[in-house]
Every structure is written in structure tokens, then in C-alpha cells.
Amino acid sequence: MKIRTEERDHAKYFRNIVAVIFLFITILTIAQVGFRFVLNKPLVWSEELVRFLLIWMTMLGAAVISYDDRHLSVQSLVDVLPSTPKFILYTLRQIAIVAFSAILIATSTEMIKISHLDASGALHIPFSFWRVAPCVGAFFIIIFTVIRYFKDLKSFKEGKYGKTKEDIQL
């Protein structure tokens, strides 16, 4: 996990989207409690909407984390490697992530089409809108993983790869 503050942030808008979704989720959940206890009028739709938003926040957020290269991973063994084998391993890792994401998109289309015929109970959101979220997330994971890779390739060629300050993961 590295801090890369000096470069252009391609995922800036996605970060804001994640924050806005998170804000909505928080307000809706607090409102749900308020409506039930203060107004004595439980909201029947809020929990469903919150779950729907959580799926989208997770999948879009996963793409941002791919850009930041901050997915939770064990780096202690990899960190002891010299720069070149470490970068080769990193290259293979990024290829595997892109391949997994591409397979996820390619294999899920049919099921998403079928699930469009059915909808959720309270808000009548078609189930395809729920199930397409991992595919949209995977699409942006591919894009951000590739952008990240070319940025790191540049650093590697300049002899700077792996020399950034270690991040602190809370």
C-alpha cells in the first residue's frame, strides 16, 4: 500500500460518488430510526434502498481502491524481493485482476438480462440494477488497474518503483 499524492487523481469523481452514497446511507439509516421512534411511522422502503446503495458503494469503491492499489493484501514477503522480480510479480497480479474482472463481466450478462424481469419488494427496483453493480465495478476496476499499472511502469523505468512512503492502514 503506497501513498501517491504527487500525481493526477483519475479516480477523484469516484471518490466523491462513494462519499455521497455513504452520506445518503447514513442519513437514511438515522432517518429510519427517527421515523420509527419519534414520528411512530416506520419507513418501509429505507432499508431496501440502503442495501441497494451499499452494493453500489462497494463495487464503485472497489474500483477506486484498485486505482489506489490499497486492496487489503499481505506485502511482507513481496517487499523483501529486489525491485525487478517484485515488479514482475506485480505485473502478473494486475493481469490476474484484469482477467478475473473481465470473466466476471463476460459471464454475468445473461443472468442480468433474466433478472431484469423481476423487481424488489418495496421500491420495485428491477433486480438487474442490483446484479449489474459488480459488473460495472469490474469494468472500472479494469480501467483503473490499467491506469495504475502504466503509472507504476513509468515509476519502475525511472527506478522509483516501491520507494514511496509506506501507508498506514487504519
Among 9, 13, 19, 118, binds other proteins (CB under 8 A): 19
Backbone angles phi, psi at 126, to 5 degrees: -55, 140
Minimum CB distance to other proteins, residue 138 (Å): 8
117 touching other proteins, by CB under 8 A: no
Which residue in the set 45, 91, 115, 119 belongs to the binding site for other proteins (CB under 8 A)? 115
CB 97 within 8 A of CB 66: yes
Measure the CA–CA gap between 29 and 50, rounded to whole angstroms.
7
The three-state secondary structure class of 16 is helix
Interacting span for other proteins (CB under 8 A) from 2-10, 17-25, 153-161 = 17-25
Q: Residue 122, interface with other proteins (CB under 8 A)? A: no
Per-residue binder mask for other proteins (CB under 8 A), 73-112, x = binder: xxxxxx----------xx--x--xx--x--xx--xx-xxx
Q: Is 21 in the site for other proteins (CB under 8 A)?
A: yes
Decide: residue 152, CB within 10 A, 0-12 exposed, 13-18 middle, 19+ buried. Answer: buried
Place of cell 470473466: 103
Cell numbers of 34, please? Answer: 427517527
| Grid cell listed for 168 | 498506514
Q: Please name every residue paired with 10 in a beta bridge, in sequence order, or none if there are none.
A: none
- Residues contacting residue 155 through CB under 8 Å, at least 6 positions apart: 161
Is there binding between residue 58 and other proteins (CB under 8 A)? Answer: yes
Which residues contact other proteins by CB under 8 A?
15-16, 18-19, 21-23, 25-26, 29-30, 32-33, 37, 47, 50-51, 54-55, 57-59, 61-62, 64-65, 68, 70-78, 89-90, 93, 96-97, 100, 103-104, 107-108, 110-112, 115, 130-135, 166, 168-170
